[in-house]
Amino acid sequence: MTGSVDPTRPQFDAFKALPRDRPVNMLNLVRLRPVADYPADHPNHGKGMSGLDAYRAYGRESAPIFQRVGGRQIWAGRPEVVVTGPLDERWDIAFIAEYPTAGAFLEMVTDPAYREIVKHRTAGVEDSRLIRMDPVEPGEGFGE
């Protein structure tokens, strides 16, 4: 099975069709490759970097763009075990990124510098889930 690393065109179109002028939270679940898979023309190709090293390079290099558009991490956790769900959905990294607007997220992912930096993410990630969420104030009980 091939992992989900980048959105499909229909998925990205669905994201863009939603309102762009309100805050969004992006739930990120990431499974890393044991060894990063850089394309042959990338300077890191064949260096034996781990997926974690490649993902950390992505995080370091994209941080200024993420911050410029107003993004920030509002939650991070270390996944331990899938309690409910497919057993093959093992995650190494989980976090929620907050953006002041969906437009800010789009500004980040279309920035030419970001589009180069994201090659680290592609090289390091085996599978992922990126879920756009509309932040709401939690209620007293589950589902409220």
Question: What CATH number does the domain located at 23-133 have?
Answer: 3.30.70.100
Q: Give the start-to-end residue ranges of the domains of the chain.
A: 23-133
Q: pLDDT per residue over 88-127, tens digit each?
A: 889 999 999 999 999 999 999 999 999 999 999 999 999 9
pLDDT of 88 reads 80
**pLDDT of 1 over the 80 cut:** no
pLDDT at position 72 over 70:
yes
What is the distance between the alpha carbons of residues 108 and 18, in angstroms, rounded to a whole number?
17
- Tens digit of each residue's pLDDT (9 = 90 or more) over 53-68: 999 999 999 999 999 9
Rounded percentage of the chain residues whose pLDDT exceeds 90: 80
The crossing angle, in degrees rounded to 10, of helices 112-124 and 51-68 is 150
pLDDT in tens, 13-57: 999 999 899 999 999 999 999 999 999 999 999 999 999 999 999
Q: What is the pLDDT of residue 2?
A: 60
Quote the CA–CA distance of 28 and 121 in Å, as a whole number.
Answer: 12
pLDDT of residue 7: 87
* Confidence check: pLDDT of 138 > 50: yes
